[in-house]
Amino acid sequence: MAWYQPNRLEEAVKQAADARTVVVCGGTDLFVNWARRQGTYGEADWMSVERIPELQTISLDDTTGDLVIGAAVTAHQIASHGLCAAVPALQQAARVVGGWQIQNRASIGGNLVNASPAADMAVPLVAYDAVVALQSLGGRRRMPVRTFLRGPRQTALEPGELLTEVRIPARVLGRPQQFLRLDQRGGTDISLVSAAAVAQVDEGRVSFAQVAVGAANPVPFSLPEVDASLQGLAVADGAALRDVDGVVASVARRYAEAAQPISDVRASAAYRTAMVDVLVRRAIAGTLTFRAIAQEVEE
């Protein structure tokens, strides 16, 4: 059993090619109940990616304007970094991951690769239609988070590949947005259902809206064709929300219909389904009445 701690991406990619290598970042998923679970890893070699500079940065892409977040960036950094003020829904999600101690370790890359149906940071990323970059000795490829996540604990990551960055498209930066989650206590908890929405209102009409729902399907999901029904919706400045209630409610209902949650020790499927309806409605409503952030960022 060896422990590798590369501080250059190229070395890490080389090491990742070895089939015995298990990648670890913050370890907050991998090392839960370690004494009971270590047996399943046998004689693996370990590679920590948390000190690789390329994976630690948060930056704006000069050409595209995309926000690029390195895979090893922690929830705490996302919650407190100036550039991330442009993605408040992701910050809201980062702030509910565990508590302070977990947020100091939990990485955005780990949250995605771990692929829990209830992963919180994944939900706004799906709403944003963010893209991940995957790198191996064979090269680098990109794909949307929406397709990267395949099922519980399943992703499109191939053996030997590292997730290096998450790219949030410029078009959602600074747009009104919101992440909401339903949990059951104020201590660390897991989402029963979560939802994220990002939208833009131009001249009193919705010009852009994307929604995602977490913990209700094997992976966080979006329904672009349903989101499209929000396009052009008139939400005049200061207008009472009841004017848009009908449309928003029907979007929420369609998300609930598409949800196929499980029944488990935390909640029943029926309840989760009903909560998808509630959270989607609230997330959209909250987003459409929440414009201050957009102005701040654009100014």
Partner 1 sequence: MGNEVTVRSDVASKLRGETRYVADIHLPGELYGGVVRSPHAHARIVKVDVEKARAIPGVQAVLTADDVPGGAYGPTQFKDWNILAKDRVLFVGDEVVAVAATSEAALRAALAAVEVTYELLPAVLQPEEALAPGAPVVHDEQPDNRPMHVQLERGDVDAAFAKAHIIRGGRYTTNRIYQGHLEPIGVLANWSEEEGLTIWAPSHIPYRARETYAAAFGLPEDKVRIVVPPIGGSFGAKYVLKAHVIAAALAMAAKQPVRMVFDRYEDMLTAHPRVPLTIDIRIAADAEGRFLGKDVVVWGDAGARVYWSPNVMATACTRPDSLYHFGAVRAEGHLCYTNHSPTTCMRGFGNAEMLFAVESVIDEIADGLGIDPVEIRLRNIVRRGEVTIHGYQLDSCELEACLRQAAELSGWARRQALPPNRGLGVALGNHVSGYRGIDSRFEGSTAVARLRDDGRVEIETGEIDLGQGMSATYAAIAARVLEISVDSVIVKSGDTARYPFGIGTLASRSTVMGGNAVKLAAEQLRQQLTVFAQGEYGADVELIGGVVQSGGAAHSLAEVAARYRSRYAGDTLEVRASYRPETDFPGKDFYGNPSPAYPFAAHVAEVEVDPETGRVRVVGYWAVHDAGVVLNRTAAIGQVVGGVAQGIGWATMEDLVVAEGQVKNLSLLDYRMPGASDIPPVSVSFVEVPDPHGPFGAKSVGEVAIDPAPAAVANAIANAIGARGRHLPLSPERVWRLLHAEEEQR
Partner 2 sequence: MSSMSEQNRSISLRVNGVSSAYEGAPTRPLVDVLRDVLGLTGTKVGCRTGECGACTVLLDGQPVVSCLLPVAAAADRDVETVEGLRAKSHFAQLAAAMEAAGGSQCGYCTPGIMVTLSAALSADAPPQTAADVAGVLKNNLCRCTGYQSILAAALEVVRQSTDATAPQAGGETEWATK
Ligand X SMILES: Cc1cc2nc3c(=O)[nH]c(=O)nc-3n(C[C@H](O)[C@H](O)[C@H](O)COP(=O)(O)OP(=O)(O)OC[C@H]3O[C@@H](n4cnc5c(N)ncnc54)[C@H](O)[C@@H]3O)c2cc1C
Whichever of 23 and 173 has its CB closer to ligand X, that residue is 23
What, of partner 1, ligand X, partner 2, none, does residue 82 touch, CB below 5 to 8 Å by kind?
none
The one segment of 21-29, 140-148, 159-167, 203-211 that binds partner 2 by CB under 8 A:
21-29
For residues 239 and 160, give the distance between their C-alpha atoms in angstroms, rounded to a whole number.
53
Site for ligand X in 178-197 (CB under 6 A): 188, 190
Under the binding rule (CB under 8 A), the answer on residue 19 touching partner 1 is no
The one segment of 21-29, 153-161, 197-205, 269-277 that binds partner 1 by CB under 8 A:
269-277
Under the binding rule (CB under 8 A), the answer on residue 274 touching partner 1 is yes
Site for partner 2 in 172-231 (CB under 8 A): 186-188
Site for partner 1 in 111-130 (CB under 8 A): none
Under the binding rule (CB under 8 A), the answer on residue 33 touching partner 1 is yes
The one segment of 7-15, 167-175, 205-213, 291-299 that binds partner 2 by CB under 8 A:
7-15
For residues 165 and 49, give the distance between their C-alpha atoms in angstroms, rounded to a whole number.
12
Under the binding rule (CB under 8 A), the answer on residue 275 touching partner 1 is yes
Under the binding rule (CB under 8 A), the answer on residue 266 touching partner 2 is no
Contact 276, 269 (CB under 8 A): no
Q: Partners of 3 in the beta sheet? A: 46
Under the binding rule (CB under 8 A), the answer on residue 38 touching partner 2 is yes
Under the binding rule (CB under 6 A), the answer on residue 167 touching ligand X is no
Contact 145, 131 (CB under 8 A): yes
CB of 119 to partner 1, least distance (A): 14
Under the binding rule (CB under 6 A), the answer on residue 110 touching ligand X is yes
Binding site for partner 1 (CB under 8 A): 33, 35-36, 182, 184-190, 192, 265-268, 271, 274-275, 278
